[in-house]
Amino acid sequence: MKNTFTEKQIKQFVKVFKKTGKLPTKKIPCTVTGEMITIFGDNLKRRVEAYGGIENLLRTFVSRAGAKTTAPAKEVTKAPAVMTRETAQEYAAFYEKNGKLPVKQIPCTVTGTMITIFGDNLKRRIKAYGGVEDLLMNFVCRAASPKKEKKTSSTRDYAQKKAELENIVYDIPKVNLNRPKTVIDLVENPEACAKYTADSCYRPDIFLNNGKACNGCQLYKNCAYAGKKLKAEKARK
C-alpha cells in the first residue's frame, strides 16, 4: 500500500507551514511510488513554488523516480526506410501540432539513405518542397540530386575571345595634329580677357606674390574676376 497523507494530516501540515514556514516532517510521500522523499529548507520552498502551494505539493507530489514511471514514451527518431502516404500524413499532422516531425531522419526516395533533417534545415526543406507531406513523399538527398555541369574555360576559348576583340573596329574621330594653333593675346583682346577671367584669376602667381593684390598684372584693366584688387583699393563686390 502506498504511503499517503490523510486529509487531517494535510490540513495540519498546511497550518504549520503557514505559521512556521516549514513542515513538521522532513519526508513526504510520492503520490506515484509511495516512496518517502526528504524535502526541507530551500528545496521545500522551491517545491512549494513549483506546485503552486503547500497543499498542492502534499496532494500531488511526484518524485524523480515516479516521474520516470509516468513519463510518455520517447518519440521515434527514425522513419521507415520507405515512406508511405499514410505515414507521411501522420507526420504532417504531427508537424502542424508540434512544429516538428516525430522523427529526425527521413528516407531519400531515390537511394533510401536516411538523412537527418530538423530545425531550420527542416523548415527550408518544407518551403522548398511546398509542404511537409510533399517533402516526405518526394525528398531527394544531395547525393542523388543531378549534378550541375561546371563551366570550364579552355585556352582555345581564350584565344578565340582575344581574336574577336582584336577584330572589333572602333569608330574613333580623327584628330588633325598638324592644324595651326590659335593664339589669343588677352592683353590686346579685351573681350577674350573678360571671358577667360570671369570665373577665376588668370595670374594667381602675381596675385599671391603681391600679398593678394593685382599690382603689376597686365590683365588688370580688362579682367572680369570679382576678387581683383590693388593694394591701394578694396576688392570690388
Among residues 51, 83, 228, the alpha carbon closest in space to that of 28 is found at 51
Same domain, 95 and 66: no
Check pLDDT > 60 for residue 74.
Answer: no
Of 15, 42, 70, the last residue of a domain is 70
Global pTM value: 0.35
Domain with 203 in it: 184-237
- Is there a single domain that holds both residue 36 and residue 91? no
Looking at the fold, whether 105 and 137 belong to one and the same domain comes out as yes
**Residue 133: inside a domain:** yes
Whether residue 96 sits in one domain with residue 46: no
pLDDT of residue 151: 64
d(CA 15, CA 73): 39
Say whether both 63 and 96 belong to one domain: no
- Please state which of the ranges 92-96, 100-104, 165-169, 204-208 shows the lowest mean pLDDT: 165-169
Within the chain, strands assigned E span: 27-29, 36-38, 105-107, 114-116
What was the pLDDT predicted at 1? 44
Up-side HSE of residue 188: CA atoms within 13 Å toward CB? Answer: 3
Note whether 19 and 55 are same-domain residues. Answer: yes
Q: Are 76 and 46 in contact (CB under 8 A)?
A: no
Residue type, 88: A
Q: Which residues are paired to 28 by β-bridges? A: 37
Q: Above 60 in pLDDT, residue 149?
A: yes
Rounded to an integer, what distance in angstroms lies between the CA atom of residue 115 and that of residue 205?
80
Band of pLDDT at residue 234, cut at 50, 70 and 90 = low
- When comparing pLDDT for 161 and 54, which is higher? 54
**Is residue 24 left, alpha or beta, with left meaning phi > 0 and alpha meaning psi from -120 to 50?**
alpha
Residue 76 lies in a domain: no
Q: The C-alpha cell of 7 is what? A: 486529509
> Does residue 39 sit within a domain?
yes
Instruction: Give the pLDDT mean for 171-177.
Output: 77
